[in-house]
Amino acid sequence: MPSHPVPRQRGTFERTQNHWWWREGWGPGTRYLTWHLSFEGATPLHEAAQRACEALSTVPGVDVVPVEWLHLTMTGVGHSDDFDSSSLKEHVDSVLSAASRTSVIPLVFDRLFIYQEGVCLSATSPGLQELRTLQSELVSAAGGPVPDPDEVFYPHVSLGYFSREISEEALSDALDLADLRPVVVASPRLSLIELGRDDRVYTWRVMAQQDLRS
């Protein structure tokens, strides 16, 4: 992998804004089941994120993501109290079986993207879209959300979320200081998690997990 700084792209928006407004169906104490990729053993990604966190923490209004809570959002399943243990186990078995037949690695993080509510590393992977499509179909079959055919999947790992409108000049200076290079993750984990976001950080409890391999 060439060792050059990752390119940077800005989304189409007028100004940054607070990420932590409550979405419909969410509030303090809400817990939501969702499929994520998690990165417990991904040392190169941890090191890059740590550099980014140190730099981004100097920018007022940026809530940096601690290394232990790095994640790549895949497919929402539903609120925790919407599923009984037997139906959830059946769903988990079907998704992990599908994942074992799909090659999604390596993941390559090779671009910074600034969106309206945060900054992230964008990921590319040959089979990630296929896995997400399979997951979405299985989630729908289990009584979860029906896939939106018009939704575009942008795989990414957020490094920081904005808690208010921020100075994009200060953000740019911090990203220059972080000097991030492309990162390869050879074996992420597909994780069903019970997600919360009560304290301006996403945290979770792992419900099921499986390493992804080629």
Domain boundaries, the chain: 8-22+29-211
pLDDT exceeds 90 at position 186: no
pLDDT at 79: 92
> Is pLDDT at 2 greater than 80 in this prediction?
no
The model's pTM is 0.93
What's the pLDDT band for 3 if we cut at 50, 70, 90?
low
From the list 118, 109, 107, 111, the residue with the least C-alpha distance to 7 is: 111
Residue type, 20: W
Fold type of domain 8-22+29-211: Cyclic Phosphodiesterase; Chain: A, (3.90.1140)
For the chain, the average pLDDT equals 92
Measured in whole angstroms, the distance separating CA 64 from the mean position of its chain's CA atoms is: 13
Dig out the tokens for 1 from the structure: 């992998």
Q: Which residues pair with 38 in a beta bridge?
A: 71, 189
Whether the pLDDT of residue 206 is over 60: the answer is yes
pLDDT of 142 > 80? The answer is yes
Instruction: Please report the pLDDT score of residue 112 as a whole number.
Output: 97
Distance from C-alpha of 79 to C-alpha of 26, rounded to nearest angstrom: 9
Tens-place pLDDT, residues 79-99: 988 888 888 999 999 999 988
Instruction: Give residue 146's pLDDT.
Output: 82
Length of the chain, in residues: 214
Burial 168-195 (b: 16+ CB within 10 A, else e): eeebeebbeebebbbbebeebbbbbbbb
The reported pLDDT for the residue numbered 1 is: 52
For residue 112, what are its two tokens? 């910074």
Q: CB–CB of 98/131 below 8 Å?
A: yes
Q: Which of 20-34, 96-110, 189-203 has the lowest mean pLDDT?
A: 96-110
Q: Residues 6 or more apart from 171 whose CB is under 8 A from it? A: 56, 59, 62, 114, 119
Distance CA 129, CA 203 (A): 25
In which element (H, E) is residue 170 found? helix 168-178
Angle at 62 between CA 56 and CA 65, to 5 degrees: 75
Given a cut of 90, is residue 174 above it in pLDDT? yes
Region 46-70: mean pLDDT is 96
